[in-house]
Amino acid sequence: MAPLLKHVDETRLVSLQTRLEEMSRVDVDFLLLLSGSSLIATIGLFQNSPAVIIGAMIIAPLMRPLVGLSLATISADTKLLSRSLITLSFGTTTAISLAMLIAMLFHSLELTPEIMSRTNPTLLDLAVAMFAGSIGAYCQTKKKLADSLAGVAISVALVPPLGVVGIGLASGNFVVWSGALLLYATNLVGIAVAGSLVFLFLGYTPLKQAKRGLLISAAVSLVLVIPLGYSMKELILENMISSKVKTLLMEKTFTFKGLQLQDVQVKRFRNPTVVIATVTAPDQPISSRQVALVQDFLSREIGKVIEFRLRVIPTDEITAVEARPKAEPVYTVPIGEVGVKLYTAPATLNSQ
């Protein structure tokens, strides 16, 4: 590897630019791969199938123009920049449109966990995108590693968020499509910025020439960091509250003695924060006053006003030994040395 910030040979730069320009074209191969990956991803989202979604990621071609955008951003290569942006715009629009079409055909299907998991991006998603962008850019500087781009695409998952955007738009669900769009934008920016830094450190562009592109990238990243940081804060708070609530309910509240706590959900982005506990219980009545006492108790312990809700799933314990009514023998039919007794139900049961 060449020393950091030392400019590479012009031949290597031209070779990389040419290869990325070819990869950033909108051609038949790009259209087939994009259409196939979009349709497969959307169906996989409705199936709630990670395996199907991963299959869509493998053939998704959007990573290619993104790497081209990374180099064009810092090298001021207007031809590569325009080609990459056109390809990304066309690919994004096509993927969302196909997802909307599938969503309208299957409009009666519910939103699965695989769909909802792509509606609340955090700083962790930005970190994954930046690592993926770094590896993707480095792979393109080495011809023998160029085929590793499919694995990089899997790690960052560009097409599934677009599928969720289409599903959200088709169903008119603002929370779904806006959250997924933020995730897609996070992936785009993370990959492009990290890729640009890698190309800069490997010497494909002088620092002086790259300053403008880096400033633009930093500004766009800052805009994304604000909502992602807020979402990250809410995620940490959710996990903290959920863990503390489980401990408090099972160890410090009399109301839940003898009950089995199944799940605790914390609804984020609400004021006050909503905490929903699900328990299984035998025939044991729980009053609204008891729930209110638990709510006050949890608010004091956590130091945050919450709205506590309780879901009770009634349970019955059944053993292998049943209490059976005493049967009355009617008659016996001898068969050899064995007597077969026929029974009827008691009169009290027959009369019912």
Q: In terms of domains, do 195 and 273 share one?
A: no
Residues in the chain where the model's pLDDT stays below 70: 1-6, 145-156, 252-253, 255-258, 268-269, 283-285, 317, 321-352
pLDDT recorded at residue 325: 56
The CATH number given to whatever domain includes residue 282 is 3.30.300.70
Q: In terms of domains, do 20 and 104 share one?
A: yes
pLDDT recorded at residue 341: 33
Residue environment code for 134-150, b if the CB has 16+ CB neighbours within 10 A, otherwise e: bbbbbbbbeeeeeeebe
SS3 293: helix
Say if 332 falls within a structural domain. Answer: no
Say if 181 falls within a structural domain. Answer: yes
Cβ-in-10-Å burial (0-12, 13-18, 19+) of 14 comes to exposed
| Residue 52, domain extent | 10-205
pLDDT recorded at residue 237: 80
pLDDT recorded at residue 318: 74
133's enclosing H/E stretch is helix 123-140
pLDDT recorded at residue 340: 36
Per-residue pLDDT of 12-52, as tens digits, reads 878 888 888 888 888 898 999 999 999 999 999 999 999 99
Q: How many domains does the chain have?
A: 2
Residue type at 1 in one-letter notation:
M
pLDDT recorded at residue 162: 94
Say if 227 falls within a structural domain. Answer: no
Q: In terms of domains, do 153 and 275 share one?
A: no
Q: In terms of domains, do 267 and 140 share one?
A: no
Number of C-alpha atoms within 13 angstroms, CB side, residue 195? 29
Say if 333 falls within a structural domain. Answer: no
Find out whether 162 and 99 touch, Cβ atoms under 8 Å: yes
SS3 121: coil
The CATH number given to whatever domain includes residue 117 is 1.20.1080
Instruction: Return all residues near 45 (Cβ < 8 A) that are at least 6 apart.
Output: 53, 112, 114, 115, 160, 163, 164, 167
pLDDT recorded at residue 332: 44
- What letter does residue 60 receive in the DSSP assignment? -
- Hey, what are 132's tokens? 């993926």
Q: Among 190, 205, 220, identify where a domain stops.
A: 205
| pTM confidence score | 0.76
- Hey, what are 222's tokens? 């800052």
Say if 53 falls within a structural domain. Answer: yes
